[in-house]
Amino acid sequence: MVAAHGSSFVHGPPRRDGGTGPHAAARPRHDSERIGPKGSRLPRIVRERGRLRLPRSAPEGRDGTMTPTSPPRRVGAHVPAASAARQVRLQDADVAQVFLASPRAWRPPADDAHPHLRDLPVPVVAHASYLCNPASGDPEVRRKTREVVVASLRTADALALDGVVVHGGHVTAGAADEVGSRGWTELLRAVADVRTRTPLLIENTGNGDRAMARTLEQLAHLWGLVDASDVPVGFCLDTCHTFAGDPAFIHDPESWLRGLLDIVGTVQLVHVNGSAAPAGSRQDRHANLAAPANLLPDELIAVQLAAADGAPAVVETPGDARARADDIAYVRDLEARFGLADPRGVHSGTAHDRVTRE
């Protein structure tokens, strides 16, 4: 089993340093403060049961307002690596996600890629190429997946990043079911060999006929393989993928999320995306949160944020930096509306205005 996490990244509130601005404190480096019990950097992944706190359980104050149940959550966006510092500042973000190499090519990032990411004042995670599929029936795809994921972890480790996100993948047409388990076991073994402190974050997917991480049954099977390995692995929950990917989630969101936490223990990162595809449609179409095209109701975002406790949230929505600044603001507002965070600690100033001005 796996222990990851030892930093302020996962459950620490954003640093808001009074008059010195939100990003005055530098992001912690690989230091003793960040190193967990097993030498890993992020807070330990604890397999606790039944710790789901739903919005409706937020106690009401005397004046009828909801009392916040969690410290402010870090909220940010996926940004281009080259301009990450500027985007984080303009978006008033507390966290960022980047690609270390092209997401649509088999190109492992160089060990010395994007050195400036070290100086970002917020925690950063990387997302591996979309081409990666650890469960592919094609051995060449599995080999390239291992190569890209391992290289991404090495680069992320050198940059003191807080995780590398990879999709669960799916067994491709014509391949035997066992290929999925074999491919994941091979990948976890390759990751164990490089012994990076940066953990792998496995994300649930919205599509894939024989997916590895779309339904709870699939996730339970995959986490059996994770538990049998000695690799720091965390879970990344994508709100759009949950909504579009598994009809069981729509049928009973609360039970689904409790079942999820029974399997993965805790959620390390949330991708907060709207869905332009209907519930259970098995289509992966992200939408901006306030867009009319978004079919994912706020309640179903709130319940997922509640299940993710204090894990940082990253929006991966369409449009430009301004659109994503609006989505970041939307997440912070949603948390306040559902009593998930203290609005006074969460949002100061309008990132939208700032982006528009610059």
Smallest gap, in angstroms, from Cβ of residue 33 to Zn ion? Answer: 29
Task: State in angstroms the smallest separation of the CB of 128 from Zn ion.
Answer: 11
What does the CA dihedral 237, 238, 239, 243 come to, rounded to 10 degrees? -100
Between residues 158 and 201, which has the closer beta carbon with respect to Zn ion?
201
Cβ nearer to Zn ion, comparing 114 with 271: 271
Least CB distance from residue 314 to Zn ion, whole Å? 8
Q: Report, in Å, the least distance between residue 157 CB and Zn ion.
A: 22
- Cα separation, 188 vs 139, in Å, equals 15
**DSSP bridge pairs for 333:** none
Q: Which residues bind Zn ion (CB under 5 A)?
A: 238, 271
Closer to Zn ion by CB, 69 or 215: give it: 215
Cβ-based nearer residue to Zn ion, 232 or 245: 245
| Angle formed at CA 227 by CA 225 and CA 231, multiple of 5 degrees | 95
CA-to-CA distance for 117 and 85, rounded, in angstroms? 8
In contact, 3 and 44? CB cutoff 8 Å: yes
Closer residue to Zn ion, CB minimum distance, 84 or 179: 84
Smallest gap from residue 165 Cβ to Zn ion (A): 7
Beta strands in 65-172 (DSSP E): 75-78, 96-98, 124-127, 164-167
Residue 57 identity: S
Cβ proximity to Zn ion, 103 vs 345, nearer residue? 103
Q: How many angstroms separate the CA atoms of 114 and 188, rounded?
A: 26
CB-wise, 214 or 271, nearer to Zn ion?
Answer: 271
Least distance between Zn ion and beta carbon 145 (Å): 17
Q: Which residue is nearest to Zn ion (CB)?
A: 271
Taking every pair of Cα atoms in the chain, the longest distance, rounded to a whole number of angstroms, is 62
Shortest spacing between CB 28 and Zn ion, in angstroms? 25
Query: Rounded to the nearest whole angstrom, what is the least distance from the CB of residue 243 to Zn ion in the complex?
Result: 12
Which lies closer to Zn ion via its Cβ, residue 158 or residue 257? Answer: 257
3-class secondary-structure state, position 117: helix
3-state SS of 189-230 is: HHHHHHCCCCCEEEECCCCCCCECCCCHHHHHHHHHHHHHCC
- Distance between first and last Cα of the chain: 47
The residues near 15 (Cβ < 8 Å, ≥ 6 apart) are: 8, 22, 23, 24, 25
